[in-house]
Amino acid sequence: MMLLWNEMDMMDTDIAEAALTTIVKMRQSSRMRHFLMKLRPEFEPVRAAILNQGTKASLDDIIVDLLAEETRLNSLSTSDEPIDTALIATSYKGKGRALSSVQCHFCHEMGHVSKNCRKRNFCNYCKEKGHVLSQCSKRPQYNAHSLKAYSAVLPTPEDSKTTVSKPAIENSSTSAPAFSLSPEILQQVIQALHTSGLGKPISKTTWIFDSGASNHMTGNLHALEKDLHTGKVIGRGHRKGELFVLDFGSTTTSPTCFLVPSINEINSANNSWRLWHCRLGHPHSLNSIFSSGVLDKLDHQYVFNKTCESCALAKAHTLPFSRSLNHASSAFDIVHSDVWGPPRVGSLTGKRYYVSFVDDWSRFTWIYFLHRKSEVMQVFKQFHAMVCTQFNKKIKILRSDSGGEYIPKEFKAFLASEGVVHQYSCTEQPQQNGVAERKHRHIQEMARALRLHANLPKPLLTYSRRVQHPPPMPPPSPTSTPGNVSPPPSTSPTPQLSLRRSSRIIRPPDRLSLFSALDPLSIPRSYKQATESAKWIQAMKDEMDALEANETWDIVPLPTNQPVVGSKWVYSVKLKSDGSLDRYKARLVAQGFSQEYGIDYDETFAPVAKMTTVRTLIAISAIRDWDIFQMDVKNAFLNGDLSETVYMRPPPGSSIASPHMVCKLRKALYGLKQAPRAWFAKLKSVLIGAGFRQSENDYSLFISSTPQGNVFILVYVDDILITGDDSQSIINLKNVLQHSFQMKDLGSASYFLGLEISHNSHGYFLSQQKYTQDLINLVGLTDDKQVDTPLEVNVKYSKNDGEPITDPTLYRRVVGSLVYLTVTRPDIAHAVQLVSQFVSDPRRLHLTALHRIIRYLRSTSDLGLPYYKSALPQLQAYSDADYGGCPDTRRSTTGYCSFLGSSLLSWKSKKQPTVSKSSTEAEYRAMSAVCSEIVWLRRLLADFGMTPSIPTPLFCDNESAVKIASNPVFHERTKHIEIDCHFVREKFEQGLITLPHVSTKDQIADILTKSLSKTNHVRFVSKLLLPLHQFEGEC
């Protein structure tokens, strides 16, 4: 019956999809009633119960009820007559027996088997407790539309010629049975089939049980001999045991794999080529197969005239974009633009992107290098101004993609004000901006060709191909990039590679990047490269002239058994505070790494100015309204006199031809270990001879006190700051220095050691804006995100967080740069000291914290330290501690800051060296550290002629720490910090400090010990720093 129903469903092909669900439900209900009406009278109670119940039962539920009723009838029956009924058959081997005679091995009761025993409370299917196999919800249910079931076709009493098919259990090898029937019940069913059948036995010629791949049973013997769809004879065979062996005979020469064709093949008038096309995996052509004679019996005239719809869909490609029909009729009517980057190796000035502007009419291209994508708008303004001035033309249309660098509101407003129409390409459709995209491809191909033509060694070429090293920029043949760039020099033939392999990450040196070579500020890395540029040749000549004028060495023969140090040229550029070029510098250095202690050098220490002293000098100059002057010593180390005998090889490019002649150094040279000490000793002798004395609190500070006034000079190697209230003495000092050394008077201080010094009527402003921007470019973050705080609130970082970074070089370099940035940025001091703890083994989570600091600097790059005039300059300090803040060591963090009036002089954020047993102890250790700073600052201020007359207030928000400092009685909990207690109490009793209590909300040092919320962070930053535009606006 089930087979007939399925065949009827296949004949209805014109049913609308919307009505399909309703029709299926109607058919199932009709078939269910038909099935129930055909039941024997013995099942009338079950049939009546099913028809009268409220909800419609499924076929599975009906079968279960009928089997239960049949089992009950069998148990009540005492006769041996066979049960005349039609049941579901399955491919089950062996003879069956009555279920009433089956005993459970678990509970030892009759009528069921152990796997269905309810007392066992265990399912053999899902292996879980709480239910049995027949109640398992994870067991696959019967699918009425599936054709993977066994079929039982039995003659009924009403019509012995009618074949009735009912769903049966699926093959256990493919899926779980559709009904919960035990093997015992199935045996009984098979036994009933053999003994029933309208009161007479079933002959072997009428019924064939097939347990093979087809998994079905039928009453028509010929149904197994022909294909169900085509009616063709598949093959004939004879029974051998329980198997049927196919006898192909004369129908075929060898066994063949018979495949059931699809519905499309059945409906096809000629399906020979289509059938073999599908069997062979949808090849493009069967020509080679037909030519071989394998398929010579098939009609292959249709092969080249038919098309396979599956092939057309599976092998289709995106259609090419049609060429644009809208072309410019004159120059700059349409300009195409796109941004490329970032590469693995950027330029030496930190530029990692370039933007191209391509004229549609002439295909002339302009390229501008960028630090980040957000500079596109500023560069386009320059390009637009250049077009208007040089070509007297106006840009009418700008075509670009929808990148974030082209869609800011400011950019749109500028284009609208200039009358430029901005055309965007659709999302994920780079073909619409094809002119600019193809230009990028042309540039990259040109760069690779230049690399090959430059005869780079094979390992570098292999690396660039294998690792996909970003292609560098080509020479600007039609572009407007300034500067003449020569191609890279030819190198030696490919060196022999050793078999040893290193696990170290290999990357090509920066000098091999043409992106760096095109930068107008590119720096040569060797003497050979420098000789190819006239500007570097001139720089080397100036250096040699200075060395000869200074009588730095004597040319002598090399004595026997005397060590000789090498020499080399080092090249760099000196930039102004705005980033523009100041001058090219070529310096001859000695390779002092070969020196040996006690032979050609002894002591090497040379003092340099402390940054706190620099800020103190600027703060006092602002208070006293003094001018600050800056001087630079040219070739400072060359002025130091050597007390040791040092021999050096002649520099590259010198006129000394003999290999046995060397340079006996009379003066110090850059690179020698004792050069800094020799230079400082020379400068010290000159200043003391001019009437200056050396400060005992900072050896780099020299003071001159005369009745006319005071003059202060601060030395940091070869950079000198001069200030005071005696103008004539300052002029005399400059004359003395210029007479003794080659000095350069830079006038008023504006750029000192990377610190930008601004001056107006209100005072001085100290910042590192250019240094901050260079650091942001060094990291090379591709996004433009900004944050309000350098660290996330309540986030603790451990040394084992996350996975290790593959190459920690950049992490360490950025952290080192951030440490120097804290010279003017106390707001990041705590964040920097936190990430600096992981430089030995940085993890990805630490790198994320580092990137957050960079994003914070991006939004606050103009912050700096203001130093105002103050009528009552008073020294004061704040102290705080974060108790047990380190998750790895549970050590606390010390934070303090000191002010002179409103001017910030010094600060520190540092993890304490030992673990504190209480918050009071942690606070007291911080008080001891800042107390030492106060004592030193008071002495330093006395050197500047500003001796504090009143005790310095030390503000602390921990009352217990304040009580311990003022209480002479020690307790058990403080005896292990007795030294700190004695030191703080001694300064307290001497009247150097006072210990007032301050509320936590007013504790400025709190920003130096922990991460704060946005509100608190902004509030404390406003008390420490000031934006540059706000300081300039006060003029």
Model pLDDT for residues 875-898, shown as the tens digit of each residue: 999 999 998 888 888 899 999 999
The arithmetic mean of pLDDT across residues 696-715, rounded, is 90
Predicted pLDDT of residue 448:
78
Residue 601 structure tokens:
């050098």
Predicted pLDDT of residue 851:
92
Spell out the long-range contacts of 348-353 with Cβ–Cβ below 8 A and sequence spacing 24 or more: 348/510, 348/516, 348/519, 348/521, 348/522, 348/523, 349/519, 349/521, 349/777, 350/774, 350/777, 350/778, 350/780, 351/515, 351/519, 351/777, 352/777, 352/780
Residue 693 structure tokens:
């004395």
Nearest to 207 by CA among 128, 264, 154, 247: 154
The arithmetic mean of pLDDT across residues 120-135, rounded, is 74
Predicted pLDDT of residue 613:
93
Residue 713 structure tokens:
């000079």
Predicted pLDDT of residue 104:
79
The arithmetic mean of pLDDT across residues 82-101, rounded, is 44
For the chain, report the end-to-end CA distance as a whole number of angstroms. 101
Q: Phi and psi at residue 412, in whole multiples of 5°?
A: -65, -40
Nearest to 167 by CA among 113, 231, 216, 228: 216
* Euclidean distance between CA atoms 974 and 952, whole angstroms: 25
In this predicted structure, the answer to whether residue 471 has a pLDDT above a threshold of 50 is: no
In this predicted structure, the answer to whether residue 228 has a pLDDT above a threshold of 60 is: no
Predicted pLDDT of residue 827:
92
Domains 334-485+509-517 and 870-956+958-997 share a fold: yes
Spell out the long-range contacts of 650-658 with Cβ–Cβ below 8 A and sequence spacing 24 or more: 650/555, 650/567, 651/544, 651/567, 651/568, 651/569, 651/588, 652/527, 652/567, 652/568, 652/569, 653/527, 653/531, 653/540, 653/569, 654/544, 656/555
In this predicted structure, the answer to whether residue 366 has a pLDDT above a threshold of 90 is: yes
In this predicted structure, the answer to whether residue 175 has a pLDDT above a threshold of 50 is: no
Residue scoring higher pLDDT (64 or 907):
907
Give me the residue spans of the domains in the chain.
Answer: 2-224, 263-314, 334-485+509-517, 534-753, 870-956+958-997
Burial 612-637 (b: 16+ CB within 10 A, else e): bbbbbbbbbbbbbebebbbbebebbb
Q: How many Cα atoms within 13 Å fall on the side-chain side of residue 519?
A: 26
In order of 205, 224, 244, 454, the CA distances from 218 in angstroms are 12, 8, 15, 81
* Euclidean distance between CA atoms 595 and 576, whole angstroms: 35
Q: Is 948 left (phi over 0), alpha (psi -120 to 50) or beta?
A: beta
In this predicted structure, the answer to whether residue 324 has a pLDDT above a threshold of 70 is: yes
* Euclidean distance between CA atoms 912 and 894, whole angstroms: 6
3-state secondary structure of 592: helix
% residues pLDDT > 90 (the chain):
19
Q: Give me the residues paired with residue 658 across strands.
A: none
Predicted pLDDT of residue 434:
87
* Euclidean distance between CA atoms 35 and 46, whole angstroms: 13
Predicted pLDDT of residue 183:
53
In this predicted structure, the answer to whether residue 469 has a pLDDT above a threshold of 50 is: no
Spell out the long-range contacts of 860-863 with Cβ–Cβ below 8 A and sequence spacing 24 or more: 860/827, 861/769, 861/772, 861/773, 861/776, 862/767, 862/769, 862/1027, 862/1028, 862/1029, 863/767, 863/825, 863/827, 863/1021, 863/1025, 863/1026, 863/1027, 863/1028
Between 809-821 and 844-859, two packed helices, what is the crossing angle to 10 degrees? 40
In order of 628, 757, 872, the CA distances from 801 in angstroms are 48, 40, 49
Residue scoring higher pLDDT (395 or 288):
395
Cis peptide before 157 (omega within 30 of 0): no
Measured in whole angstroms, the distance separating CA 940 from the mean position of its chain's CA atoms is: 48
In this predicted structure, the answer to whether residue 981 has a pLDDT above a threshold of 90 is: no
In this predicted structure, the answer to whether residue 855 has a pLDDT above a threshold of 80 is: yes
Predicted pLDDT of residue 422:
93
In order of 322, 912, 918, the CA distances from 325 in angstroms are 9, 72, 79
Is residue 639 classed exposed, middle or buried when 0-12, 13-18 and 19+ CB atoms within 10 A define those classes? Answer: buried
In order of 282, 368, 378, 408, the CA distances from 373 in angstroms are 49, 11, 10, 12
Predicted pLDDT of residue 249:
53
Predicted pLDDT of residue 66:
79
Predicted pLDDT of residue 165:
37
User: 482 falls in which pLDDT band (50, 70, 90)?
Assistant: very low
Between 769-779 and 844-859, two packed helices, what is the crossing angle to 10 degrees? 140
The dihedral of CA 454, 458, 459, 461: what is its sign? positive
Looking up tokens 């009425």 gives 144
Q: What is the CATH number of domain 870-956+958-997?
A: 3.30.420.10
Q: Going by C-beta distance under 8 Å and a sequence separation of 6 or more, which residues neighbour residue 375?
A: none
Vertex 860: Cα angle to 854 and 866 (nearest 5): 130
* Euclidean distance between CA atoms 223 and 219, whole angstroms: 8
Vertex 223: Cα angle to 218 and 227 (nearest 5): 135
Predicted pLDDT of residue 386:
93
In this predicted structure, the answer to whether residue 530 has a pLDDT above a threshold of 60 is: yes
Residue scoring higher pLDDT (495 or 450):
450
In this predicted structure, the answer to whether residue 744 has a pLDDT above a threshold of 80 is: yes
Residue 812 structure tokens:
């360490």
User: 169 falls in which pLDDT band (50, 70, 90)?
Assistant: very low
Range from 129-138, 370-379, 744-753, 928-937 carrying the lowest mean pLDDT: 129-138
In this predicted structure, the answer to whether residue 627 has a pLDDT above a threshold of 60 is: yes
* Euclidean distance between CA atoms 973 and 705, whole angstroms: 50
In this predicted structure, the answer to whether residue 599 has a pLDDT above a threshold of 60 is: yes
User: 262 falls in which pLDDT band (50, 70, 90)?
Assistant: very low
Vertex 1030: Cα angle to 1026 and 1032 (nearest 5): 115
% residues pLDDT > 70 (the chain):
69
Predicted pLDDT of residue 521:
61
The arithmetic mean of pLDDT across residues 460-476, rounded, is 38
User: 323 falls in which pLDDT band (50, 70, 90)?
Assistant: confident
Range from 160-174, 272-286, 758-772 carrying the lowest mean pLDDT: 160-174
In this predicted structure, the answer to whether residue 921 has a pLDDT above a threshold of 70 is: yes
In this predicted structure, the answer to whether residue 202 has a pLDDT above a threshold of 50 is: no
Q: How many Cα atoms within 13 Å fall on the side-chain side of residue 665?
A: 35
Residue scoring higher pLDDT (642 or 169):
642
User: 77 falls in which pLDDT band (50, 70, 90)?
Assistant: low
Predicted pLDDT of residue 833:
92
* Euclidean distance between CA atoms 547 and 648, whole angstroms: 14
Range from 244-248, 256-260, 374-378 carrying the lowest mean pLDDT: 256-260
Residues in the chain, total: 1035
**Secondary structure, 3-state, 308-354:** CHHHHHHCCCCCCCCCCCCCCCCCCCEEEEEEECCCCCCCCCCCCEE
In this predicted structure, the answer to whether residue 741 has a pLDDT above a threshold of 50 is: yes
Predicted pLDDT of residue 828:
92
Residue scoring higher pLDDT (41 or 243):
41
In this predicted structure, the answer to whether residue 1017 has a pLDDT above a threshold of 60 is: yes
Is residue 364 classed exposed, middle or buried when 0-12, 13-18 and 19+ CB atoms within 10 A define those classes? Answer: middle
Mean pLDDT of the chain: 75
Predicted pLDDT of residue 463:
36
Which CATH superfamily does the domain covering 334-485+509-517 fall into? Ribonuclease H-like superfamily/Ribonuclease H (3.30.420.10)
Predicted TM-score (pTM) of the model is: 0.52
The arithmetic mean of pLDDT across residues 648-673, rounded, is 83
Predicted pLDDT of residue 896:
92
Nearest to 543 by CA among 604, 487, 593, 589: 589
Predicted pLDDT of residue 170:
38
Residue scoring higher pLDDT (244 or 839):
839
CB 372 within 8 A of CB 777: yes
CB 432 within 8 A of CB 464: no
Range from 158-162, 295-299, 305-309, 922-926 carrying the lowest mean pLDDT: 158-162
Predicted pLDDT of residue 213:
45
The arithmetic mean of pLDDT across residues 609-633, rounded, is 91
CB 83 within 8 A of CB 70: yes
Range from 171-185, 541-555, 1009-1023 carrying the lowest mean pLDDT: 171-185
Segment 273-306, tens digit of pLDDT = 677 777 777 777 666 666 666 555 555 444 444 5
Burial 539-577 (b: 16+ CB within 10 A, else e): bbebbbeebeebebbeeeebeeeeebbebebebebebeb
The arithmetic mean of pLDDT across residues 724-729, rounded, is 89
The arithmetic mean of pLDDT across residues 622-639, rounded, is 87
